[in-house]
Amino acid sequence: MPEADRADVRRWSADLFASGAPDVIDSASYAIADYMTGLVAARRRSPGTALLDRLVAARDGSDRLSEQELVSLGVLLLVAGHKTTTNTLGNALLALLRHPAELRRLRTRPELVPGAVDELIRFDSAVSTATFRFTTEAVTLGGTEIPAGVPVLVAIGAANRDPQRFPDPDRLDLDRDASAHLGFGHGIHRCLGAPLARAETEIALRAALDRFPGIRLAVPAEQLTYRHTRLVRGLAALPVQV
């Protein structure tokens, strides 16, 4: 994605997750679909080797994607790959800033960062609910009967704090094996970008710990506010002193 377009894309993808604002979501989805249609056309005129070029080639070469599928996959990859990681980084850094002993331990032992990423994602999941599912048949879950053909939203953030699965779940414990968390979803629709997201989070956390030895919250944690969103959970801002 060209650097010059990033401010627009950032705004549209934030709007896509606005809570209780269907008009804002609607116009952002049209804007981002139009943008992706233009980007696909531009890549057709001068192809490169990026992921989008490969998807265009799959469409044009052997017709494995319809034009609409190509655009919607492009939008999905762009949005799913960007808001999620941004919010994960904010949530993870906040958790560490609020647990200075754990932060110090990661700084002195950076080899612990990969394992810590799972626990940080479990502890404060940036994707707080999955996308909609629909029941194909009636099911009883936790004593509640859910009829066939109704929408269901799985609360990933709550599942990741299930005390039966993660003892003392409200405690950040970088030594726990949190690898079975649901922060990337589960089953056939599990996050396609999980390995990339994990790498990005590791790299960014290591860089922040490395570069800013004195990093600390610039405001009391109680003053931090969260964006008014659906699906994703993330801070409006994370003011720090370095």
CB of 28 or CB of 78, closer to ligand HEM: 78
CB of 192 or CB of 240, closer to ligand HEM: 192
CB of 18 or CB of 192, closer to ligand HEM: 192
Q: Number of helices (H) and strands (E) in the chain: give both, helices first.
A: 8, 6
Q: Nearest to ligand HEM by Cβ — which residue? A: 193
Residue 42's nearest CA partner among 80, 77, 81, 74 is 74
CB of 10 or CB of 189, closer to ligand HEM: 189
DSSP letter for 219, please: S
Place of tokens 């949530």: 91
Give min distance, CB of 126 to ligand HEM, in A: 5
Q: Residues 26, 32, 38, CA angle at the centre, nearest 5°?
A: 140
CB of 77 or CB of 240, closer to ligand HEM: 77
Distance CA 117, CA 209 (A): 14
Which residue type occupies 9?
Answer: V
Give min distance, CB of 14 to ligand HEM, in A: 16
Distance CA 213, CA 54 (A): 41
Interface contacts to ligand HEM, rule CB under 6 A: 76-77, 80-81, 84-85, 88, 126-127, 130-131, 156, 183-185, 189, 191-193, 196-197, 201
Supply the DSSP string of 1-40, one letter for each residue: --GGGHHHHHHHHHHHTBSS-HHHHHHHHHHHHHHHHHHH
CB of 9 or CB of 127, closer to ligand HEM: 127
Residue 82's nearest CA partner among 32, 169, 13, 151 is 13
CB of 192 or CB of 224, closer to ligand HEM: 192
Which pair of structure tokens corresponds to residue 173? 């414990």
Give min distance, CB of 223 to ligand HEM, in A: 25
Give min distance, CB of 174 to ligand HEM, in A: 17
Give min distance, CB of 214 to ligand HEM, in A: 26
Give min distance, CB of 92 to ligand HEM, in A: 9
Distance CA 185, CA 7 (A): 28
Give min distance, CB of 17 to ligand HEM, in A: 13
Residue 234's nearest CA partner among 50, 87, 136 is 87
